[in-house]
Amino acid sequence: MKQFASDSCRLTVHLARILFFPLAFAAFCPGLFGQPLTPSKLPAISSLFSPALYAELAASGKVVRTAAAKEGPGILPRHEGARGIGILLAEEKPNLLVEALYMYRRPKPADPSAELRALYATFLSISSLEGIEYYSASRKKMRTFYAESYRIDSLESRLRLPDPLPPPGLLPPQAQYFAYQKDLTFGANIYQCVYRAFPDAVILESINLTGLSYYGIPVMGPKGLRIRLMVIQAEEAIVFYAVSSADVPSMAIIRDKVEESIGNRTAALYKWFEERQKK
């Protein structure tokens, strides 16, 4: 019976992902990401990692890894939400993974729930991504990441909307919006933004719904790039985890460019997050 329930849950997740109903499958398989019903005590940051990984993170403030899909993620934090990310990555089987960990030091918050709401609001601020910069290795200089970035009402009309706000009361376990983002490297595209909240963490998953091109050369089809950002509250810091998974052509020159671009953009996203926390 347990095996049947487990198989049914995995099948539900797979079908939901194919049918593009990320909000529905959480109700069928709540154990995949957990349910943020009540606030929890903040963990010590050292408890989220192996001793070796924590030592590396504490020493430099960041850890970056690139891997092939068969190797899987190597620096996932020890958290229910991160476990769900690992499960999805195993099912999706991308051929490129770029991971990054950052540690944003801050005093222990007096009100963890208020801080969590602020973190959720940061991820909701889609328009604040407009104009951020990343380092272009090919050009040897800083370059605009998103020339435009805003929420839209639907895939059909693409009407510009203001950034959403966190709802009153407890944060929802899951929510989704659509975003239009004009990337100076990959062009203008539509993304699905899925938000997941936990008692001490928030996840933002961004999925491209239109194909991505690199200087006019198609490099990824729809849903070929998934960027997952996760912030976890700890007693002495906020952990920022990012993993970008992609299906890219096997041509070495294209793969190397995409990998390099993703890595530099992850650093830009952390800088954006860090600056938002200081405001």
Q: Per-residue pLDDT averaged across 86-92, rounded?
A: 93
Q: What are phi and psi of 268, to 5 degrees?
A: -65, -40
Is residue 130 situated within a structural domain?
Answer: yes
Kindly write down the DSSP assignment for every residue of 76-105, as one continuous string: --SSHHHHHHHHHHHHH--SEEEEEEEEEE
The pLDDT value recorded for residue 14 is 40
Distance CA 178, CA 135 (A): 26
User: Is the model's pLDDT at 135 over the cut of 90?
Assistant: no
Is residue 237 situated within a structural domain?
Answer: yes
Is residue 270 situated within a structural domain?
Answer: yes
User: Is the model's pLDDT at 244 over the cut of 90?
Assistant: yes
Is residue 13 situated within a structural domain?
Answer: no
Residue pLDDT, tens place only, 164-193? 999 999 999 999 999 999 988 888 999 999
Residues of the domain holding 126: 33-277
Q: Name the pLDDT band for 35 (thresholds 50, 70, 90).
A: very low
Is residue 159 situated within a structural domain?
Answer: yes
Q: Name the pLDDT band for 33 (thresholds 50, 70, 90).
A: low
Question: What is the number of structural domains in the chain?
Answer: 1
| CATH code for position 204 | 3.30.530.20
Is residue 20 situated within a structural domain?
Answer: no
User: Which of 5, 23, 25 lies closest to 15 in space, CA to CA?
Assistant: 25
User: What predicted TM-score, i.e. pTM, was given to this entire model?
Assistant: 0.85
Beta bridge pairs of residue 105: 237
